[in-house]
Amino acid sequence: MTQSALGFRSLDLTDPATFVENDVHEFWREVRAERPVYWHGPTDRYPGFWVVSRYADIQSLFHDAALSSARGNVLDVVLRGDDSAGGSMLAVTDGPRHRQLRNLMFSAFTPRVLGEVVENVRRRTAELVSGVVGLDTFDFAASVAEQIPMNTICDLMSVPAADRKSLLEWNKMALSSGHADSSDLDALGARNEIVLYFMELGQDRRDNPGDDVISMLATAEIDDRPLSLEEIAVNCYSLILGGDETSRISAICAVLALIENPDQWQALRTGEVSLDSAVEEIIRWSTPGIHLARTAVSDLELHGKKIRKGDIVTLWNISANNDESVFDEPRRFTLSRSPNRHLAFGHGPHYCLGAHLGRAELRALLSALVAEVERMELRGTPRPIYSNFLTGYESLPVHFARRPR
């Protein structure tokens, strides 16, 4: 932690430890008030970039054609140079190609298509929660939270059951770690393993198509041309990453927040607040994906700061979702909060395809907890993840006391 030339406290936003070792919400309060747009100077390893922190600015910039995601949308990646998946993966594609890919993939994520998938989520979640209620102590992250989203997205893609454990382990390493000393090579290796896996599976589905998302990608054409195996693989990588990380971390944060706020747990149990309202507050409160990165493709000005073509611009959702001008007492966990127009799923053209499924998974978890659990207790210290893109916990030791019938 240092003092900038202007007297502001500065944090190194490229360092994963920053988000574990500091009160980042206090930091963002100061930033929103005093320097809503500022230049984060270069570090020993990375070039400098712009930091945008206010809700209104971030929401607007999600729509601004002056910013592009094609070079990468995660700080750690874009600071190293162009994302190798740019122009191929939906999340790092803009313009007509983005619309074509999005229209193709959206057909697999409509509420109507997901009806059976959501029902399976409810069943699986109820079974998982029922299986841990009454145990002396268990790790909620490993026993419940890790099992729901990964299996759900793998069901959509018809990923063989025997491969799912490896995918989960690679996924947990791709953009975060449970250890402060993990290396960049570990993350790169994990990302490569996922892409290589889906290239092989994509070829198999092209040869033997079925009724699943990978088969849809493998047999589809855009501009009269089939997607390459690389395009299939990177979009599967994006689905696995987005489909697992956000829901898994939100679920862990939900249980911890309910333990730390027993009045809110009571309100949920008694039906004083609706499940849908609770889901939105949990997503806002946790904001697992804390930023999105963009690159300026033309000059623009914001709060008197001149952003030049080629500059990296980072949009900090974790700050936007705690902006006092939008959310009353943002650091108060309030399940009845309304309105709750958080930006956890993004906004505009890149709004998360899996938002409906993510909400359904959290709703299923809360419903199962209300049905089965009388009281939740923390039985140890949660282990945080180390990442400058994701925030949350890798481990959560707890006890669930069974609700009387």
- Give the pLDDT confidence score for residue 1 in this predicted structure: 38
Cα–Cα distance for residue pair 165/189, rounded to 1 Å? 16
- Give the pLDDT confidence score for residue 178 in this predicted structure: 61
Ranges of residues in the chain with a pLDDT under 70 are: 1-9, 176-183
Query: pLDDT tens, 216-228?
Result: 999 999 999 999 9
Q: Could you count the other beta carbons within 10 Å of the beta carbon of residue 29?
A: 18
- Give the pLDDT confidence score for residue 182 in this predicted structure: 60
> What global pTM score does this model have?
0.92
Residue whose C-alpha is closest to residue 138's, from 128, 125, 151: 128
Provide the sign of the torsion angle of the four alpha carbons 370, 261, 357, 112, taken in this order: positive
- N- to C-terminal Cα separation, the chain: 52
Contact 366, 265 (CB under 8 A): no
- Give the pLDDT confidence score for residue 87 in this predicted structure: 85
Contact 55, 326 (CB under 8 A): yes
C-alpha R_g of the chain: 21
- Give the pLDDT confidence score for residue 7 in this predicted structure: 39
Cα–Cα distance for residue pair 54/58, rounded to 1 Å? 6
- Give the pLDDT confidence score for residue 240 in this predicted structure: 87
Residue whose C-alpha is closest to residue 243's, from 372, 355, 320: 355
List the domains of the chain with CATH numbers.
2-402 (1.10.630.10)
Beta-bridge mates of residue 295: 68, 312
Q: At what angle do helices 164-174 and 148-157 cross, to 10 degrees?
A: 120
- Give the pLDDT confidence score for residue 251 in this predicted structure: 98
Contact 312, 78 (CB under 8 A): yes
Residue whose C-alpha is closest to residue 132's, from 118, 111, 146, 116: 146
